Structure 1
Amino acid sequence: MGLVAAAETGPLEFARAFGYGIGGAESNVAIGAARLGAPVTWIGRVGSDATGDMIERRLRAEGVRTVVVRDPGFTGLMVKHRRFGSTLSVDYHRAGSAGSRLSPDDLPAGCVETAGVLHVTGITPALSRSAHDAVFHAVERARAAGVPVSVDVNYRRKLWSPDEARPVLRRLVALADAVFAGVEEARLVLGPDGAGTAAELVGPLSELGPAQAVIKDGARGCTARIDGTGYRLAALPVTAVDPVGAGDAFVAGYLAELLAGECAEQRLRTAIAAGAYAVSVPGDCEGLPRRTELAALTGAEDVVR
């Protein structure tokens, strides 16, 4: 999506300065993993407009291989502003957009079958029936080819209701090898069984199918159950400037290390560090770190000469 962000805090109608860039969970993960050295392919549909041009150029500039279908419709848009304090409001303009017309036919032969990991989110199935079918078609192809499937629940209440989302997200999680969710997202997927803390939710979430279940818990870090072993890592202390995209950075860090063959604890440590970088900079993907920056976070100085 295109991303319009108001520069000042206050009612959107009085904002006079705006930034314009790209957003979207899948794009954020693609850029984040590519910056950490993973080979990444992004598959999607964008409009035949300036925003679509910008998205394709930005992804390619980040080293992401793009399989782009150009649609005669418009590219989706996200509008972000702070009404007061640190509270962010995000509005989506996606109904009828190019991305909402994603379909199973948009996935080229062999693109899924040759992947190291297929990553999808719970956002895409909410956009339309054809987008829903495209996600599950990709997942089925991956499973048939023995390609691990990664799912970030990424529930968006402005796109669909909990009752609409729960059965779809639950089915998606059950087909996954790795699942990422926030605490409330885990409760949503688990339904009546979804009470408790992150530590109490991660086991039942894993029991739905994924051998790797990770609950992203913001400033409290993360809780995971990976191949039967439990993990709990604290967040790194940073000044949060913009929380949007932190979860995507976390997933990018985890998947990059998974593809690199790193152990579970290292995957989580990199994920935590990537999330810390992301929240420290305005924008969805601007603050995503590169390998050379990860180690510098815990010992950062005020001035680096």
Structure 2
Amino acid sequence: MLFNPDSNGPIRYVQNFNKSIAGAESNVAIALARLGHEVGWFSRLGNDEFGRYIKAVIRGEGVEVSRAITDEEKSTGILFKERFIHSNPNVYYYRKDSAASNLKPEDIDIEYIKKAKILHITGITPALSKSCRDTVLKAIDIARENGVKVSFDPNIRLKLWDIDEATSVLLEIAQKADIIFPGIDEGEILLKMRHPKDIADKFLSLGCSIVAVKLGKDGCYAASSKEAHYIPGYLVERPEDTVGAGDGFAAGFLSGYIKNCELFQCAEYANAIGAMATMVKGDMEGYPIYDQLMQFMGKNKVIDR
């Protein structure tokens, strides 16, 4: 559960917050559902008003949530944003021993994963606890054993675990992924590399089939064993909120991939949705439906009235 301030500045001076949902995996699920894909999401939620709200919102966005478990003992985790003009917001996490951090391998419905085309994983869930880490690794193994592609966004959050542990676990996951979405900073932490081509080449050598290195406003560098491209981004003059842009990027790329688009087009979708996410306050509020995406990319005419 996210509490977003209605004013900028240090959180100690903020009086009012707006309630919304947050979560990298749920962001990707919602963005894909808005683009017309069938998406399922599973986690653990507290048996409290926050948990009921999160489940209702995600379900209302068209995401299938039947495998989201209600935990009778643990509470739903919360976080607060602290925003400053034209800079990335700070995030304060209060999710230790939350319902989601108690996700465990036996919570996984094997048949549910087997039905999917893609299993999307981020580096946030394995950072929450040992049981979450074991659950993620089990889900990946189930996917790989049944021909389900694994998509991975490292999404490193050093407020949740130390750098050595993060590096070890995330590289283990990366070697099992088919598609990976690292940023430059993540490339430096995980691989000690900062050049997009070097990062992409290294992840390809580890076994990934596709690498899309996020470059922020500059777009991305997308590579496979057959081709590689720098794809320019979309300029947003005054971004409102950058949180959720990376999740929108992943969803855009996966949408193109599901539609069997060329690598370049997948990356264009990714760049566009990542940019659109920054135009709206909130993690997932800026994700478009497909017609809005086409208009933003200049592929459809905009009719104002």
Which TM bucket (shorter chain)? over 0.9
Cα 1:159/1:146, change in 2 over 3 Å? same
Q: By how many angstroms is 1:199 displaced?
A: 2.5
**Segment drifting more, 218-227 vs 162-171:** 218-227
Q: By how many angstroms is 1:109 displaced?
A: 3.0
Residue pair 2:222, 2:264 contacting (<8 A) in 1 also: no
**Segment drifting more, 137-146 vs 256-265:** 256-265
Q: Deviations over 1:4-23 (max 9, x none)?
A: 01111112111112111000
Residue pair 2:78, 2:95 contacting (<8 A) in 1 also: yes
Q: By how many angstroms is 1:228 displaced?
A: 2.9
What TM-score, normalized by structure 2, do the two folds share? 0.95
| 2:256 alignment counterpart | 257
Q: Distance in 1 between matches of 2:135 and 2:127?
A: 12
Q: By how many angstroms is 1:227 displaced?
A: 3.4
Q: By how many angstroms is 1:301 displaced?
A: 9.9
Written as runs of structure 1 = structure 2, the 5 A alignment for 1:120-269 is 120-190=121-191, 194-239=192-237, 240-269=239-268
| 1:69 alignment counterpart | 69
Q: Deviations over 1:80-111 (max 9, x none)?
A: 01256534111111110000000111111301
Q: Distance in 2 between matches of 1:223 and 1:78?
A: 32
**Segment drifting more, 29-38 vs 254-263:** 254-263
What number of residue pairs does the alignment pair up? 301
Q: Distance in 2 between matches of 1:301 and 1:177?
A: 35
Written as runs of structure 1 = structure 2, the 5 A alignment for 1:42-57 is 42-57=41-56
Residue pair 1:9, 1:85 contacting (<8 A) in 2 also: no
RMSD (CA atoms)? 1.6
Q: By how many angstroms is 1:149 displaced?
A: 0.6
Structure whose residues are more often strand by fraction:
1
| 1:98 alignment counterpart | 99
What TM-score, normalized by structure 1, do the two folds share? 0.95
Q: By how many angstroms is 1:264 displaced?
A: 1.3
Residue pair 1:180, 1:215 contacting (<8 A) in 2 also: yes
Unaligned runs of 5+ in 2: none
SS at match of 2:296: coil
Residue pair 1:186, 1:205 contacting (<8 A) in 2 also: no
Over the matched positions of the two proteins, sequence identity in percent amounts to 38
Q: Distance in 2 between matches of 1:39 and 1:84?
A: 36
| 2:283 alignment counterpart | 284
SS at match of 1:296: helix
Q: Deviations over 1:99-129 (max 9, x none)?
A: 0000111111301111110111111111111
Q: Distance in 1 between matches of 2:180 and 2:113?
A: 18
SS at match of 2:113: coil
Q: Which amino acid aligns with 2:177?
A: A
Q: Distance in 2 between matches of 1:268 and 1:36?
A: 15
Q: By how many angstroms is 1:200 displaced?
A: 2.6
SS at match of 2:114: coil
| 2:34 alignment counterpart | 35
| 1:8 alignment counterpart | 7
Q: By how many angstroms is 1:302 displaced?
A: 10
| 1:274 alignment counterpart | 273
Residue pair 1:211, 1:228 contacting (<8 A) in 2 also: no
SS at match of 1:111: helix
Runs of 4+ aligned structure 1 residues displaced above 6 Å come to 300-303
Q: Which amino acid aligns with 2:263?
A: A
| 2:110 alignment counterpart | 109
Q: Distance in 1 between matches of 2:100 and 2:260?
A: 32
Q: Distance in 2 between matches of 1:293 and 1:30?
A: 18
Cα 1:151/1:298, change in 2 over 3 Å? closer
Q: Distance in 1 between matches of 2:117 and 2:193?
A: 34
Q: Distance in 1 between matches of 2:62 and 2:9?
A: 36
SS at match of 2:283: coil
Q: Distance in 2 between matches of 1:44 and 1:228?
A: 36
Q: By how many angstroms is 1:132 displaced?
A: 0.3
**Segment drifting more, 175-184 vs 227-236:** 227-236
Q: Distance in 2 between matches of 1:83 and 1:291?
A: 31
SS at match of 1:112: helix
Residue pair 2:185, 2:194 contacting (<8 A) in 1 also: no
Q: Distance in 2 between matches of 1:161 and 1:301?
A: 48
Unaligned runs of 5+ in 1: none
Q: Deviations over 1:134-178 (max 9, x none)?
A: 000000011111111111100001001111111100000000000
Cα 1:119/1:53, change in 2 over 3 Å? same
